Every structure is written in structure tokens, then in C-alpha cells.
Structure 1
Amino acid sequence: MANLKAYNIALKGLGTGEHRFDYQVERKFFEYFDGGIAEDGDISVVLKLEKQSSLIVLWFHVEGTVKIQCDRCLDLFDQPIESENTVYVKYGEEKYEEGDDVVWIAPDESHINVAKLIYDFIILSIPIKHVHPDDENGNSLCNPEMLKKLAQMSVKVEKEKPADSRWDELKKLLDNK
């Protein structure tokens, strides 16, 4: 995280009250995190920080697009994302497990780096299903050549035959438990 210094927030000189930080996340940011879903994007992050005497509250607003691979046709596409997240930073010598939205730092810590938090919020805002969105007519924007190959390779499933009516009386016995 040596080159993610732009995401360091100095805590020592920061006065009590609200502060705002704006970040623009692009391809270079994603290079510092291995093996993620997204490797490129154009995302704006607005961080509002409220420093109190014993607590810091961070509000993140993440909005933009990430370039991800379509699960259906394997082409890259721009997936719009947006999320609102809150993180509480507490001071303490020991780190306690209080949930995903609490971060513990030492009382003598001079700064906090929010790059990993921003990355996590970007990745968590990506939908589980990665498929090209449909156009205004409802047609898929997936690669047509790949869809054609998928149709050729798909397994044809035979429709179920209607149940044999000779067994209906016995099935009634099973339903009378």
C-alpha cells in the first residue's frame, strides 16, 4: 500500500468536527489489490469524516462504473455501482470483534488509510450476477457470436411425460400421513 498514500488521512492535525475528502478511483487503484472481480473502473468516492473525542465516523458514498467480465459471454462491460456505507473508528490498545463496520486503531496512530475500505465497498456493490444489461428493447447486449455458440452447446432437456393415472390412488395414500 506504499503508493496508496493519497488515501491516508492524517488524524493528529485533524480538528474535531466534520471533514470531507473526495477521491477518484481508476485502473491504477485496482492494481494494488490482487485477484478481484474488477480490474478497472471510473468511480468517485465522497468520504465524510466526523471526528469526535473518542470516535471517528466515516460515511462513504461510492458511485460510478466498474469494468467486469460477463458471466454469460465473457466480454468485459461497464457495470454501474452505487453504495452508502458507514464505518466507526474506535481507539484502543486491543482490537475487539464488534462487526464489519468497526475498525480499531491505536490511540497514538497518526493516520488511517481508507484505500482497503474503499476497495471493499466497491467490490461489495457489484451485483452477484454479472451479465450485460439489456438494451431499451429488452435485447441482450451480450456478444452475439458467443450466445450462438452457447445455444449450439446447450443440452436439450426433454419435457416430463404426464404421470401415469394408474398410480393416482396409491399417491393419495402417501398424502394421508
Structure 2
Amino acid sequence: MKSLRTYSIPFTGLKLGKHVFEYAITDAFFDEFEYSLVKKADLQCRVELDKQETMIILDFHITGTISLTCDKCLAQYPQVVDLQEQQIAKFAEEEVDEDEEIITLKKNDYEIDVAGLIYEYVNVAVPFITRCSDEGNTPYCDKEMLDKLKDLSGSGETNEQQDPRWDALKKLK
């Protein structure tokens, strides 16, 4: 976790106004998180910190590619990522449990860690079902696997031998 220290922004010395921080997000970043969906990445993260008297507004812009495994052909392919997110951090004496979307900064806090936020934004951007964009026609798609799937799913054995008990149940309708 020591390598994630570079993603901590010390805000106490910053003047009021906007400040820009840029980070390169690579495989080493995701290696720090044990159960990450993303293992390989080439991302650029731009964080615009707007420091105000009572709060800090963080605007994230993350672009680049992450390497994913296609759910159909099991080949690795690059998924383009272009994210824009915003996080608000308020200065308060006590933690506010009412709103989970707002980070509470106490008077003893002097920096804000954005590594967890970047990790969360990228992992949430991973599609639920990952597939190559153009099956069989991209250099990443595994045509042999697709042909094997077609051969296995094309067998008509299931239609030829039906269980006679199903016929008896259909008559009950």
C-alpha cells in the first residue's frame, strides 16, 4: 500500500480555488488491490480539486484502456474507458452519516486519498458482460473458440430424445 501514497493530495497548503493533479494508472496500481476486476490497465487520471472554504469538490476524468477477458471466447481484449465522476468532501467537526456520497474531513485531516475513489470508479465501469466488440472479426477474438462453441451448441441430440414424461405434463394444460 506504500505505492498508493502518491495518490494522497495534501489540501492544507493549497490556496482556495482550482488545482489539477494528474496520475498514470497502470498494472501496479491494481496489484495493490487483492480482488480487483481489473488486472491490466493503461489509464490517465486527471483530478481537478476545487478547494472552497467549507468543502472540496473533486472532478475526476479517467481515460485509457483496461484489459478484460471476453465472456464468450475467453480472449483478452482492450476495453476503452472514458469516465467523468465527481466527489464532494466537506469540512465538519463530526462525521455525517446521512449522506454516503459526501466524504467528511475533520479538522485534523490534512490530505485526501483518491486511490480508493479511482479504483472504485474504474471497477464500476467494467461491463457486467464483457464481450469482444465485433465477434470473430477483431484481432483479439479467438475464432477457434467461437467455432468450437458453434459445433457444441449445434448438435440436435437434445431435440431427438425427449423425455416422455414431459409429454404427459404438457397434456395437463
TM-score normalised by the shorter chain: which range applies? 0.7 to 0.9
The one-letter code of the counterpart of 2:42 is D
Cα deviation for residue 42 of structure 1 reads: 0.5
Aligned-partner Cα distance in 1 for 2:39–2:137? 27
Letter in 2 for 1:151: K
The one-letter code of the counterpart of 2:142 is: N
Residues 1:56 and 2:56 are matched in the alignment = yes
Shift of 1:76: 1.1
Partner of 1:74: 74
| Partner residue in 1 for 2:95 | 94
SS of 1:24's equivalent in the other structure is strand
* Cα distance, 1:97 vs structure 2: 3.4
Residues 114-168 of structure 1 show CA distances to partners (whole Å, capped at 9, x for unaligned) of 0010111111222222111117xx836520111122122226575xxxxxxxxxx
Contact 1:72 1:142 (8 Å CA) reproduced: no
Contact 1:96–1:104 (CA<8 Å) still a contact in 2? Answer: no
Bigger shift: residues 125-134 or 17-26: 125-134
Alignment match, 1:30: 30
What secondary structure does 1:62 align onto? strand
Match of 1:139 in 2: 137
| Cα deviation, residue 36, structure 1 | 1.7
The separation in 2 between residues aligned to 1:53 and 1:4, in whole angstroms, is: 27
| 1:12-62 residue CA offsets vs partner (Å, 9 max, x unmatched) | 111111000011101100101122221011001111000011100000001
More helix by share: 2
Cross-structure match for 2:125: 125
Tell me what 1:149 maps to: 148
| Percentage of pairs with the same residue | 32
Q: How many residues align?
A: 156
**Alpha-carbon distance, 1:106 to partner:** 1.6
TM-score (norm 2): 0.82
Q: Which runs of 5+ in 2 are unaligned?
A: 160-173
Q: Which runs of 5+ in 1 are unaligned?
A: 159-177
21-30 or 126-135, larger mean C-alpha shift: 126-135
Q: Kindly report which structure 2 residues correspond to 1:4-43, keeping only aligned pairs within 5 A, or say none.
A: 4-43=4-43
**Alignment partner of 1:147: what SS?**
helix
Secondary structure of the corresponding residue to residue 150 of structure 2: helix
